[in-house]
């Protein structure tokens, strides 16, 4: 049976090892430039940092003065444990039932190819004549925080020239018939806590020692964690993105090779994901109080700090949301609105005031991003191309106010 062109392109893209810690960025940029040429789309590159190239494909609109549509995806993928996979994670093997196994099938190489294959299909049907300009952007380094990728790009003069008015980026699969749409995401704080104390010999009861302060800090953070977990489990209407998660991810202290020495300081690391329903200033005030209760000399610093809590309107008065949702009404597809539980490059767009939605057209599919044996069925993939064939023209033809 002959494979559809879109699926072949998708599998070729999956085979490029853009996996950390050394993604094959040069290879993927060349692949994308060739793909743009094949489809007949303008293509340019922007070096936002040495070795970090953003690819921009552009379909000019009839009114370039109007804010444009940005269709964003990232090219990098997370590492794999090959012994846990049923096949080579970069072979893009397709099973008899159409399941394609490879790192990046869901997160998020599928979406990038769905954008461009939708444009290919629309051009073939002479339906790619849009009012607004459409930019398909391919970004590096999302999986490691985007500091040398999207964070740099949104500050670049070339980005400002794109005049972006609305953007789409990644979402998650949905195991049901519905598609999930994300209009916000939790704020990521990584916090390092320093607990100093009196040192001494391990045979003594030493007052004001670091471990006692560590225990108090851990108890405060994890008690809050328990409260949030209980809230999630007891209120059936809540999803993970509606609550704040706190996890102890790092604990350091002690003198190497000496178990009989009470250390003079110990360190704790916490990964905190704050829901938009929680005020950041209130959470930090609570955290400061926990430090004070643990000891007057207990301090903390941010290893990652985001002061923003951007949300994109899902009110029908928003032309972007009303247009987006109307497409799914037309297709008779159910959509579910959620807050994204993790962090994506979309936060950098919302921080500068650009409305954006997280969406990956993957229904009837288990959520497998970053998991072993990540896969996407080719029928689901092709259905996503068809969704974008409806969605892209609708958004690109939103009229002037």
CATH code for position 194: 3.30.70.360
Q: How many residues does the chain have?
A: 401
- Lookup: tokens for 32: 């994308």
**Model confidence pLDDT, tens digit, residues 283-292:** 999 999 999 9
Q: Is the pLDDT of residue 310 over 90?
A: no
- The residues, ordered by sequence, that sit 6+ positions from 219 with a Cβ below 8 Å of its Cβ are none
pLDDT digits (tens, 9 = 90+) for 216-242: 999 999 999 999 999 999 988 899 999
* Among 304, 335, 355, residue at a domain's last position: 304
**Distance from C-alpha of 84 to C-alpha of 391, rounded to nearest angstrom:** 37
The model's pTM is 0.90
**Who contacts 45 (Cβ-Cβ below 8 Å, separation ≥6)?**
29, 33, 53, 54, 55, 56
Do 35 and 165 reside in the same domain of the chain?
yes
User: Residue 247's domain spans which residues?
Assistant: 187-304
Q: pLDDT tens digits, residue range 120-175?
A: 999 999 999 999 999 999 999 999 999 999 999 999 999 999 999 999 999 999 99
Residue 1 reports pLDDT greater than 80: no
Q: Would the pLDDT of 339 be above 90?
A: yes
Claim to verify: residue 13 and residue 157 sit in the same structural domain? yes
**How many structural domains is the chain composed of?**
2
209 located within any domain: yes
Neighbours of 16 (CB within 10 A): 22
Alpha carbon distance 116, 121 (integer Å): 9
Residues with catalytic annotation? Answer: 76, 142
Domain boundary among 304, 331, 366: 304
Q: Mean pLDDT for the chain?
A: 96
Q: What is the pLDDT of residue 308?
A: 80
State the pLDDT confidence band at 326, using cuts at 50, 70 and 90: very high
Task: Check: CB of residue 103 under 8 Å from CB of residue 24.
Answer: no
Q: 331 lies in a domain?
A: no
* Placement of tokens 């104390």 in the chain: 197
231 contact partners, CB below 8 Å, separation of at least 6: 238, 243
**Which of 279, 304, 329 is where one domain is finished?**
304
């Amino acid at each position: 049976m002959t494979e559809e062109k879109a699926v072949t392109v998708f599998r070729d893209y999956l085979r490029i090892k853009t996996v950390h810690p050394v993604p094959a960025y040069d290879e993927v940029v060349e692949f994308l430039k060739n793909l743009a040429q094949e489809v007949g789309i303008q293509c340019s590159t922007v070096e936002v940092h040495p070795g970090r190239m953003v690819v921009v494909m552009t379909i000019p609109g009839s009114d370039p003065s109007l804010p444009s549509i940005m269709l964003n995806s990232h090219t990098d993928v997370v590492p794999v444990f090959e012994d846990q996979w049923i096949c080579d994670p970069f072979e893009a093997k397709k099973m008899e039932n159409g399941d394609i196994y490879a790192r990046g099938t869901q997160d998020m190489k599928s979406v990038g190819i769905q954008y461009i294959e939708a444009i290919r299909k629309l051009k073939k049907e002479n339906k790619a004549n849009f009012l607004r300009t459409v930019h398909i952007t391919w970004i590096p380094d999302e999986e490691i925080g985007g500091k040398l990728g999207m964070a740099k790009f949104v500050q670049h003069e070339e980005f400002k020239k794109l005049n972006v008015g609305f953007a789409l980026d990644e979402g998650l699969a949905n195991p049901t018939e519905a598609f999930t749409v994300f209009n916000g995401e939790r704020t990521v704080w990584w916090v390092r806590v320093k607990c100093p104390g009196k040192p001494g010999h391990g045979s003594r009861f030493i007052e004001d020692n670091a471990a006692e302060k560590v225990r108090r800090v851990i108890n405060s953070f994890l008690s809050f964690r328990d409260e949030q977990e209980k809230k999630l489990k007891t209120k059936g209407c809540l999803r993970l993105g509606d609550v704040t998660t706190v996890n102890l991810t790092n604990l350091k202290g002690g003198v190497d090779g000496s178990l009989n020495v009470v250390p003079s300081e110990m360190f704790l690391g916490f990964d905190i994901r704050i829901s938009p329903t929680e005020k950041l200033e209130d959470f930090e005030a609570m955290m400061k109080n926990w430090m004070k209760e643990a000891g007057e000399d207990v301090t903390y610093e941010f290893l990652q700090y985001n002061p923003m809590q951007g949300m994109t309107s899902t009110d029908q008065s928003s032309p972007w949301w009303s247009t987006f949702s109307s497409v799914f009404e037309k297709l008779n597809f159910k959509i579910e609105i959620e807050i994204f539980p993790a962090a994506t490059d979309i936060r950098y767009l919302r921080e500068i005031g650009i409305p954006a939605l997280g969406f990956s057209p993957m229904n009837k599919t288990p959520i497998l991003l970053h998991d072993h044996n990540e896969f996407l069925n080719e029928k689901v993939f092709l259905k996503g191309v068809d969704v974008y064939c409806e969605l892209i023209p609708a958004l690109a033809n939103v009229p002037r106010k």
